[in-house]
C-alpha cells in the first residue's frame, strides 16, 4: 500500500464553542490522510494565520518534527491565511471545505457526480482566484503553484468559463438522464451500504464486518476498492461498501455534489444506517431524521434499512433503553451495537441477511469445451461457487447467487448442451 499523506489537523474556536477535531479527524481519514498530529487554540480569529502567530510557529515545528505533508484547518482559510501558513510551514494548508471536496472527488463514481464535484471546486476557486494570483506573484508557495504566471483577470475569466461549460454539461445530462439502474446487477452479488454521519463509526464497522477473510476470485478482487469488500452476513455473501457519510455543517455549495455521490447508496440492496447513540438524544434524533429525509430525497427510501445504534459501550444501560425506546418511533427495530468491541454484530448480520434479496442454488453440468471454461470463470466472478469439479468430459459447478444471475448461467449452460437446475437455497 502506498504511504498515505501525513496530515496535522488544526482548529481555532471561540470560548464556549464545542470542539470539532474528532469529526475533522474522521473526515481526514475518509479523504485518505494519516492524521499524525493535532493542534487547537481558543481565541478570536487572527487575520494573518487564522491561529495566533505563536501557535503558527508551533504548527511549523510540528510539521517538521512529524514530517507532515499538509495541514488541515477546521476553520475556513482566506487565501492570504493559506498563503502565510504555507510560507511558514513549507506545506500546503487546506480548510474543511477543500477536505470535503477531496472526499467527494474520491468517491464520485458517476460522470454526473464527478462534474458536480468539479463545479463546487471551481466555484470555491472563483471567489479566491484574483487574490490567489496576486499572492502567487509575491513568490509561489505550496497550494499556489503555477499561478504566478497568470494575470489575475485572465485566471478569473478562465475559471468562470470552465464553470459555464460544466453547468451546460450538467444541464444536458439532467435532460437525458436515464435512470442509472443499468449499473446495478452487473455484478452478481448484492450490495450492502454503510451510511450515516461522519464519526458515527462506519469505517470501524466496515472493518469489523469484513475482517473475516472471504474467498473471491482474482478478477473480482480487482473490481473491489478500499471501500468495498466482501462480507459474510450470517452465511450469505454480499459486497459491503463504506460510503461517503453525511457531513454536519455541509457548505451549501456542496449539497448537489454530496447528493450525487450518494447515488451508490440509492443503488444498494440494503442500507445499514450507522448512528452514534452516545451523543445527546436531540443530536441523535436530528442526525437520524436528516439521514432518513435525505435518503428518501435521493430515491433510497425503497431500499430496506437497518439502523445500527453504535457506541453502546459509552452508554449506560438505563440511558440506552430510554434512547432506544424514544428513537424506535423513527426507525423500526434498531440494533444496538458496538463496532469497536464487536458487540451484537451477529444480530446485525442476521438482520441484514433477512433483508438481502433471494438467493438460489443450482447444480450446473457443463460439457467440456472452450466455452465451459469461460463460463466457469464468469461464474466465479458473479456468484458464490460452492463446488467446482473438473472431470475428463465435464465441469460440475454448484453455485449460489442472486436469481437473475444464476438464471443466466443456467441459460448459457443449456445452450452449450449442459444440464442445470435451480434448487431453493436453505
Ligand atoms: P466514520 O466517520 O463513520 O467512518 O467513523 P469511524 O469508524 O472512523 O469512527 C469514528 C470514531 O469513533 C473513531 O475514533 C472510532 O474508534 C470510534 N468508534 C467507532 N465505533 C465505536 C464504538 O462502538 N465505541 C466507541 N467507544 N468508539 C467507537
Ligand atoms: Mg469513515
Q: How far is CA 290 from the centre of its chain?
A: 17
Among all bound ligands, the one having the nearest atom to the CA of 275 is 1
Residue 64 has pLDDT above 60, yes or no: yes
Among all bound ligands, the one having the nearest atom to the CA of 205 is 1
Q: If we measure between CA atoms, which residue out of 26, 36, 9, 333 comes closest to residue 206?
A: 26
Mean pLDDT value of segment 414-426: 80
For residue 91, the CA-to-ligand 1 centroid distance in Å is: 29
* pLDDT score at 252: 87
237 lines ligand 1 (CB under 6 A): no
- Distant-in-sequence, close-in-space partners of 273: CB < 8 Å, separation ≥ 6: 195, 196, 288, 291, 292, 295, 305, 306, 307, 308, 331
Atom of ligand 1 nearest to the CA of 200: 3
Contact 41, 52 (CB under 8 A): yes
For residue 35, the CA-to-ligand 1 centroid distance in Å is: 15
Dist. CA 354–CA 352, nearest whole Å = 5
195 lines ligand 1 (CB under 6 A): no
243 lines ligand 1 (CB under 6 A): no
pLDDT tens figures, 235-289: 888 889 988 889 988 988 898 888 888 877 888 999 999 999 999 999 999 999 9
Q: If you take atom 26 of ligand 1, which residue's CA is the nearest one?
A: 311
pLDDT tens figures, 142-173: 999 999 999 999 999 999 999 999 999 998 88
* pLDDT score at 269: 92
12 lines ligand 1 (CB under 6 A): no
For residue 203, the CA-to-ligand 1 centroid distance in Å is: 7
- Dig out the grid coordinates for 167 from the structure: 453547468
202 lines ligand 1 (CB under 6 A): yes
Mean pLDDT of the chain: 90
For residue 100, the CA-to-ligand 2 centroid distance in Å is: 12
pLDDT tens figures, 179-235: 444 444 456 788 999 999 999 999 999 999 987 655 555 555 555 666 788 898 998
pLDDT tens figures, 359-413: 888 999 999 888 888 898 888 888 888 888 988 889 999 998 888 889 999 999 9
Q: If you take atom 25 of ligand 1, which residue's CA is the nearest one?
A: 311
Amino acid at each position: 500500500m502506498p504511504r498515505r499523506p501525513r496530515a496535522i489537523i488544526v482548529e481555532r474556536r471561540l470560548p464556549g464553542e464545542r470542539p470539532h477535531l474528532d469529526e475533522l479527524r474522521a473526515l481526514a481519514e475518509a479523504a485518505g490522510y494519516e492524521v499524525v498530529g493535532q493542534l487547537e487554540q481558543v481565541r478570536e480569529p487572527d487575520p494573518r494565520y487564522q491561529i495566533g502567530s505563536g501557535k503558527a510557529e508551533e504548527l511549523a515545528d510540528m510539521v517538521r518534527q512529524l514530517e507532515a505533508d499538509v495541514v488541515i484547518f477546521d476553520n475556513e482559510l482566506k487565501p492570504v491565511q493559506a498563503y502565510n501558513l504555507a510560507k511558514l510551514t513549507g506545506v500546503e494548508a487546506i480548510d474543511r471545505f477543500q477536505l470535503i471536496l477531496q472526499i467527494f472527488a474520491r468517491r464520485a463514481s458517476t460522470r454526473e457526480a464527478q462534474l458536480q464535484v468539479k463545479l463546487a471546486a471551481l466555484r470555491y476557486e472563483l471567489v479566491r482566484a484574483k487574490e490567489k494570483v496576486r499572492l502567487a506573484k509575491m513568490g509561489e508557495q505550496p497550494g499556489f503553484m503555477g499561478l504566478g504566471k497568470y494575470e489575475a483577470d485572465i485566471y478569473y475569466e478562465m475559471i468562470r468559463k470552465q464553470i459555464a461549460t460544466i453547468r451546460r454539461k450538467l444541464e444536458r445530462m439532467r435532460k437525458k438522464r436515464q435512470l442509472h439502474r443499468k449499473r446495478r446487477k452487473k455484478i452478481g452479488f448484492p450490495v450492502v451500504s454503510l451510511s450515516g454521519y461522519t464519526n458515527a463509526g462506519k469505517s470501524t464497522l466496515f472493518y469489523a464486518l469484513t475482517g473475516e477473510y472471504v474467498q473471491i476470485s482474482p478478477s473480482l478482487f480487482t473490481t473491489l476498492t478500499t471501500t468495498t469488500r466482501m462480507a459474510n452476513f450470517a452465511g450469505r455473501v454480499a459486497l459491503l461498501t463504506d460510503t461517503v457519510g453525511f457531513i454536519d455543517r455541509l457548505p451549501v455549495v456542496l449539497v448537489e455534489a454530496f447528493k450525487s455521490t450518494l447515488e451508490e447508496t440509492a443503488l444498494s440492496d440494503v442500507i445499514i444506517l450507522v448512528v452514534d447513540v452516545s451523543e445527546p438524544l436531540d443530536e441523535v434524533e436530528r442526525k437520524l431524521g436528516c439521514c432518513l429525509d435525505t435518503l428518501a430525497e435521493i430515491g433510497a427510501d425503497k431500499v430496506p434499512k437497518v439502523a445500527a445504534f453504535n457506541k453502546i459501550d459509552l452508554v449506560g444501560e438505563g440511558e440506552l433503553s430510554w434512547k432506544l425506546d424514544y428513537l424506535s418511533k423513527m426507525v423500526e427495530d434498531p440494533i444496538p451495537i458496538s463496532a469497536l468491541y464487536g458487540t451484537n454484530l451477529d444480530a446485525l448480520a442476521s438482520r441484514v441477511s433477512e433483508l438481502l434479496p433471494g438467493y438460489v442454488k443450482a447444480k450446473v453440468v457443463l460439457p467440456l469445451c472452450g466455452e465451459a471454461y469461460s463460463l466457469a470463470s464468469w461464474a466465479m466472478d458473479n456468484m458464490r461457487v460452492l463446488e467446482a469439479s473438473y472431470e475428463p468430459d465435464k465441469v460440475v459447478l454448484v453455485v449460489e447467487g442472486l436469481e437473475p444471475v444464476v438464471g443466466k448461467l443456467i441459460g448459457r449452460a443449456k445452450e452449450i448442451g449442459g444440464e442445470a437446475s435451480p434448487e431453493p437455497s436453505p
